[in-house]
Structure 1
Amino acid sequence: MIYDRILLTGAAGLLGSVLRNRLAPQVKLLRSTDITELTNAAPNEELVKADLGDLSAAAGLVKGIDAIVHFGGLSKDADFVSICRVNIAGFQSLYEAARLAGVKRVVFASSVHAIGFYDQNDVIGTNAPLRPDSNYGVAKAFGENLAQLYWDKHGLETVSIRIGSSEPKPSTRRHLRTWLSFDDMCQLVECSLTAPRVRHTVVYGASNNAASFWDNTLARHLGYTPKDSADDFRDEIFASDSRPDRDDVVNRLQGGVFCR
């Protein structure tokens, strides 16, 4: 790891909890933060309870930090006021505090929902125009654009990971194209932190699934080589979902249920 002191936001969430355990042994300091109380700190881990919507909290969170792994914020769709306070205004505050503190790199948990209104028959690259499917998706699109601004204007590097469906195992036909295993998710975050130069890189977060909506060619410099595959669960998925409704947006658009 080329960064010694890392801030992890959203550390109490599903993915954040996995990342806490993976990152702590690799760095000198892991500062883990969430709006809920965190426990069982690793020997080199600081636990900080903070609300990302509290704009005054950002400066304290980034003090002395080299890189940020930003998995915090509201993780589901909500009314725009709530999304704006935490996922938009809070994110901007975190970036500005990072700039002022001299943070070198951010790994941003973006989402498929930033491009969710593409058809499932489309195969799109990382430079495809944004097509958010919800308030949540709008916030992820904002985050990617903010990351581009802070690279172009201030030289703050970011890897924006458009996460597909990161769950313990895939369970739907859509997941056969979008599933990202926890091990592959951790590997992708590690690649985002160890690649020598990323500027602002957008990458799709998916495992080594036989079929995909996405082309990661422009992000190959990260060195990400996924190992797991949703295809190992194909028979189980087909048995539980034998006759999908092709007119349902869940089975027609890349964002699935968020497009409703």
Structure 2
Amino acid sequence: MHVLITGANGIVGRFITRRMLDLGHGVTVLGRQPMEGWTTRFCQFDLSEVSEELPEADVLVHCAFQHEPGKYRGGEGDDPHGFIQANVEGTQRLFEAAKQAGVRHCVFLSSRAVYTDTGNWVVLSESSATQPETLYGQVKLAGEEALRTMCDEQFVGSVLRATGVYGCPPGLREHKWSDLFIRFENGEDIAPRLGTEVHGEDLGDAVLKVLNRDTSQGNSFEVFNVSDILLDRQDLLKSYARVRNITADLPARAPGPLGVMDAGKLKVLGWQPGGDARLQSFLETCQESEAGNQD
């Protein structure tokens, strides 16, 4: 299978790219620069300037998102027009080019930010209300709609509404909590936070599961939640302190409430995320990696 991947150099894209390569699939990275040291092909790509021609391929996985560095919500900075133009219009042009190139299945990485913030403890299913309050969520929802309108028997679309993604991206030393762990060990005040998380490898497996889903019943477009654990920052840092054998002040527990995503549709396809055990394994791996770097 030949797979086109946008955003392959990013945190999420690296997990997906690594999984595809490990399974023997051919991967072409659509991006601004090739991935050095990776056995991938390369095609110049920018969301702001999507070419009308893409390499022939079986699958497109669209992870790229143009935003201010380090930000998703609020990622428009002082240029909301450019933000919308790249991420909505650019995404639509990309889907059109992919269909023209013979792509049979497109996977779009969306976000839990598309859901309405009810301010209550609720279970969010794929049919829950989608009235995002951030421009980021609105842009992701527009991308979903752009894909939906193009899908047919020859061009299948799957949307993954992903929660926060943790884990050490393949080829990188740092991860989303690297700075948090450093500040914690340095005794800095840490703000309380409650969130939902999924490991990047589990997200990569989710991509494979939706690519293999049965579309013989005419379901050419489907949306899937991707979420695994509910995690309070106090619990995360308590586990990290135990693994590192350190003593530091923990943040207060976050008050909530928070909508919890139901990933039942994905689990019907055989998806089995790692849960708390995978989080613990990740923290222990962080400990071993840092110990190795000190030698």
TM-score interval, smaller chain? 0.7 to 0.9
Equivalent residue of 1:166, what SS? strand
Unaligned runs of 5+ in 1: 237-260
Q: Could you say which residue in structure 2 is the equivalent of 1:105?
A: 105
Equivalent residue of 1:225, what SS? coil
Counterpart Cα distance in 1 of 2:34 and 2:26? 19
Q: How many residues align?
A: 223
When residues 222 and 212 of structure 1 are mapped into structure 2, their CA distance, relative to the original with a 3 A threshold, is farther
Q: Could you say which residue in structure 2 is the equivalent of 1:59?
A: 53
What is the alpha-carbon root mean square deviation over aligned residues? Answer: 2.7
**TM-superposed deviation, 1:221:** 4.2
Counterpart Cα distance in 1 of 2:13 and 2:278? 25
Structure with greater Cα Rg: 2
Q: Could you say which residue in structure 2 is the equivalent of 1:201?
A: 222
Q: Could you say which residue in structure 2 is the equivalent of 1:182?
A: 200
Aligned pairs for 1:47-196 within 5 A = 47-55=42-50, 57-60=51-54, 63-74=55-66, 76=72, 77-78=75-76, 79-151=79-151, 155-168=154-167, 173-175=193-195, 178-196=196-214
When residues 207 and 154 of structure 1 are mapped into structure 2, their CA distance, relative to the original with a 3 A threshold, is same
When residues 81 and 128 of structure 1 are mapped into structure 2, their CA distance, relative to the original with a 3 A threshold, is same
Counterpart Cα distance in 2 of 1:37 and 1:101? 21
Q: Could you say which residue in structure 1 is the equivalent of 2:19?
A: 22
When residues 196 and 144 of structure 1 are mapped into structure 2, their CA distance, relative to the original with a 3 A threshold, is same
Unaligned runs of 5+ in 2: 168-175, 181-191, 232-257, 284-295
**TM-superposed deviation, 1:110:** 0.1
Q: Could you say which residue in structure 2 is the equivalent of 1:5?
A: 2
Equivalent residue of 2:208, what SS? helix
Alignment TM-score, normalising by the size of structure 2 = 0.67
CA contact (8 A) 1:38 1:48 kept: no
The one-character-per-residue Cα deviations of 1:174-195 (angstroms, maximum 9, x if unpaired) are 22xx101112111111112222
Alignment TM-score, normalising by the size of structure 1 = 0.76
Letter in 2 for 1:229: D
The one-character-per-residue Cα deviations of 1:91-138 (angstroms, maximum 9, x if unpaired) are 100111122222111111100111152334121210122121311111
Residue 31 (1) aligns with residue 49 (2): no
The one-character-per-residue Cα deviations of 1:172-218 (angstroms, maximum 9, x if unpaired) are 6422xx10111211111111222232621211111255996122334
Residue 217 (1) aligns with residue 212 (2): no
Structure 1 runs (4+) greater than 6 angstroms displaced: 169-172
Identity of aligned residues (%): 21
When residues 51 and 193 of structure 1 are mapped into structure 2, their CA distance, relative to the original with a 3 A threshold, is same
